[in-house]
Amino acid sequence: MKVIYFILIIQIIALNIQLSNNAKIDPNSLQKTVDFSRNGQNWKGLCTSGLRQSPINIEGDIKIFNGEPMFLFNNEEVISGEFNWNGSFYRIDSKNSKNTVKYEKEGSSDSYILRRIIVKTPGEHKVNGNTGDAEIQFVYLNTNCPKRKYKLLVVSVLASTEQDAHPLLANLKPDNESSIDLSVLKQFFSEQSKYYYYKGSQTLPGCNEDTRWVVFKEMIGIDKMLVKLLRKHITSKNGFINGNARALNDANSRKIYEVTVK
């Protein structure tokens, strides 16, 4: 009997180790339901104690980066899939993406591959005190994960209903088969002249400080009806009257770079 108990204990330990390793391999895996009732201000652990939390208000002492581009984007593929509700927000998953980003700065190099597109409303980040009606976040996973410190790269685009809807978001429809043409995303990148870069955290419970953030300076347009439908769904499903964006965090004197796209 003792031998059986010992074997069971060993199997449980092995299973826990396996689950732990799997979590490390894909740190951007998302919980099915996230409590946004207080916009993340009731989350525990690192979400409360961390000093490099996201999102932030991008303002103040911003350093101008004049070197070679930090990020090299290779976005050609059309990402198609159900623009679905996971219990807290809408997303499109990209399982076999060939869309990559390469990071290079001061001898450091990392490669990231697109894994998920998330839409938050209202926007999470602010630029000089201004936020968008929505924020589209392109979540990339480090191909060397879990060996690297910065396992995620999130490329963020703020969107406003005060502008004409951008072609990038033309085919997003709640609860329907949707697509994002990343060749349009590549065109969008080439159209933008500047983005901000800083090191921060994931904006979901756990709040791991393992994320590089790229936030484009210029907003794009998003359809007013789409935003209305998103917010209606968020409120009716979960009662999140303030949307599903995490509240702002202190930048804590972090370095924020303004990078010119060349």
Q: What is the pLDDT of residues 188-207, one digit of tens each?
A: 767 777 899 999 999 999 99
Residue 10 corresponds to which amino acid?
A: I
Torsions phi, psi for 180 (to 5 deg):
-125, 120
Q: Does the model's pTM come out above 0.85?
A: no
Look at residue 5 and tell me whether its pLDDT is greater than 50. Answer: no
Look at residue 192 in the predicted model and tell me its pLDDT.
73
For residue 108, give every residue at least 6 positions away whose Cβ sits within 8 Å of its Cβ, in sequence order, or none.
none
d(CA 245, CA 262): 31
> Which comes out higher in pLDDT, residue 66 or 151?
151
- Residue 122 sits at the vertex; the CA angle it makes with 207 and 252, to the nearest 5 degrees, is 40
Percent of the chain with pLDDT over 90: 34
Residue 232 confidence class, pLDDT cut points 50, 70, 90: confident
The rounded mean pLDDT for the chain is 77
Look at residue 43 in the predicted model and tell me its pLDDT.
94
Look at residue 181 in the predicted model and tell me its pLDDT.
64
- Asked if residue 214 lies in contact with residue 71, where contact means CB atoms within 8 angstroms, the answer is yes
Decide: helix, strand or coil at residue 97: coil
Buried b / exposed e over 235-247, threshold 16 CB at 10 Å, is eeebebeebbbbe
Q: Which range scores top for mean pLDDT: 64-73, 74-83, 134-143, 247-256?
A: 247-256
Q: What is the pLDDT of residues 166-180, one digit of tens each?
A: 887 777 766 555 666
Look at residue 53 and tell me whether its pLDDT is greater than 50. Answer: yes
Percent of the chain with pLDDT over 70: 69
> Which comes out higher in pLDDT, residue 188 or 12?
188
Look at residue 95 and tell me whether its pLDDT is greater than 70. Answer: no
Q: Is the dihedral of CA 79, 82, 203, 217 positive or negative?
A: positive
Q: Where are the beta strands (DSSP E) in 59-99?
A: 62-65, 71-74, 78-82, 84-85, 90-93
Residue 187 corresponds to which amino acid?
A: Q
Look at residue 32 in the predicted model and tell me its pLDDT.
55
Residue written as token pair 């484009």: 216
Look at residue 206 in the predicted model and tell me its pLDDT.
92
- Asked if residue 244 lies in contact with residue 233, where contact means CB atoms within 8 angstroms, the answer is no
